[in-house]
Amino acid sequence: MADTAQANIGVIGMAVMGSNLARNLASREGNSVAIYNRSPEKTRAVTSEFPDAGFIASESIEDFVASLSSPRTAIIMVKAGAGTDAVINQLTEHFEPGDIIVDGGNALFTDTIRREKAVRETGINFVGAGISGGEEGALLGPSIMPGGSAEAWETLGPILKSIAAVAEGEPCVTHVGTDGAGHFVKMVHNGIEYADMQLIAEAYDLIRRGTGKTPAEIADIFAEWNTGELESYLIEITAEVLRQVDASTDKPLIDVILDQAGAKGTGAWTVQTALDLGIPVSGIAEAVFARSLSSKPAQRAAASTLPGPSSTWHVKDTDAFIEDVRQALYASKIIAYSQGFDEIVAGAEQYGWDIKKGDIAKIWRGGCIIRARFLNRITEAYDENPDLVALVTAPFFTEIVSAAQDSWRRIVAGAAQSGIPAPAFSSSLSYYDGLRADRLPAALVQGQRDFFGAHTYKRVDKEGTFHTLWSGDRSEVNAEDTH
């Protein structure tokens, strides 16, 4: 039983994420870490397995609270949802004004806004912190996206900086914004991760079907790409997965993994939130839908006899084709990030957060799943112009997309003609073409809306709001005059 308030930080939840984060904290100089888990067996197991961590373990919430020095700071790493609320309720009963509760789980940002508001009324600080990097990140250094008050950040900042991943000498953590800002940004991070994974999967599929190369040969291609501008954790692990051979069948592992992708919901949250904010995150949405489509075996079986194209893709110049795929992947990836940052901008505006986009790209450079070389370019783009209206319009990215667009179009057209699904590649290209279009058929949509619902329209040549009397003499009236 703990009887002295000697721990400067505590962790609640001793499943894989919480125990790894507690070990990470304990390994940093100056930290003394209190731990607690609802089921005491887990606390005992962690304490005995890692005696060097010097954990101050408690088997009751009262003892856990008593073991923390003031201001008490506790990081909750439990199952998101009801579990988080249960632990917050326990802590608020025992914590005092000025103490800090951190939720490091994958909470929906609107829950974090609600919880922050309720906890703040007690004088206790509540910080929703997105933590990315999975089990390994929690242990060795994650990318951390904390929200909450500036007061809480003062105490918490140095602790989080000590455990975060380090990229180019800088810790991958920053105070993202108030209340739910951290969990919002973590959600969009996950959405971008969905898009990036889907784009890589489409690139693999195109190369395999277009060239007949084996997974091991394609692994070499990804390993080669990882030495250039596409260098990233996801490209690196893709090569590892493709190279893996299944021990029981001696086949490439990729060929024995069931092709039905799972999801834990953060991608769907990103898309649902984007729909509410009116932000077209089409690449992310296609990635979420591609997983849904893959996981409908009955529909896929019923549709498997539907007719396909008359010819398959006859790639003549393999090297040129692979370079086309690489360029299409790079351009589509830029679109996914551009859309993700649009959502962050819109969220910041809607919820009143002062989010520094360049700093977000910086803290994603290490520890997290979407860490990539080109994130530095995003930081530079926002440093140069903090009010950039779309990332893809920054000179550096415009240049890449311009250079890639012929390849991108050949790949999307070829995929369509040969019946290879490439939803993320093609929706990214459509988004790009929509964004750069002088004129969109949205004018016709406005005409239709005015026809059936008198929803009115604006004109290109004069100010005002107009309506055509479709069921009358079809003359145009100034809609403002009719109200």
- CB-nearer residue toward ligand NAP: 80 or 372: 80
| Structural contact between residues 142 and 130, judged by C-beta atoms closer than 8 angstroms | no
Q: Provide the minimum distance between the beta carbon of 181 and ligand NAP in the complex, in angstroms, as a whole number.
A: 17
Contact 101, 126 (CB under 8 A): yes
Q: How far is the CB of 86 from ligand NAP (least distance, A)?
A: 4
Plot region of 278 (φ>0 → left; ψ -120 to 50 → alpha; else → beta): left
For the bound state, the minimum distance from the C-beta of residue 190 to ligand NAP, rounded and expressed in Å, comes to: 9
Q: Which residues have a Cβ under 8 Å from the Cβ of 441 and sit 6 or more positions away?
A: none
Residues 6+ apart with CB under 8 A from 226: 232, 235, 236, 239
Tally of helices (H runs) and strands (E runs) in the chain: 20, 11
Shortest Cβ 13–ligand NAP spacing (Å): 4
Question: Site residues (CB under 6 A) for ligand NAP?
Answer: 13-18, 37-39, 42, 77-80, 82-83, 86-87, 105-106, 131, 134-135
Nearer to ligand NAP, 7 or 78 (CB): 78
| Residue 123: both structure tokens together | 């004088």
Task: Work out how close the CB of 40 gets to ligand NAP at its nearest, in angstroms, rounded to a whole number.
Answer: 9
CA neighbours closer than 13 Å in the CB half-sphere of residue 383: 10
Which one, 62 or 383, has the nearer CB to ligand NAP?
A: 62
**Distance (Å, whole) CA 462 – CA 483:** 19
Count CB atoms within 10 A of the CB of residue 244: 15
Closer CB to ligand NAP, 129 or 206, in the complex: 129
Known catalytic residues are 186, 193
Nearer to ligand NAP, 17 or 392 (CB): 17
Q: Which residues contact 151 (CB under 8 A, 6 or more apart)?
A: 125
Can you read off the two tokens belonging to residue 21?
A: 């984060």
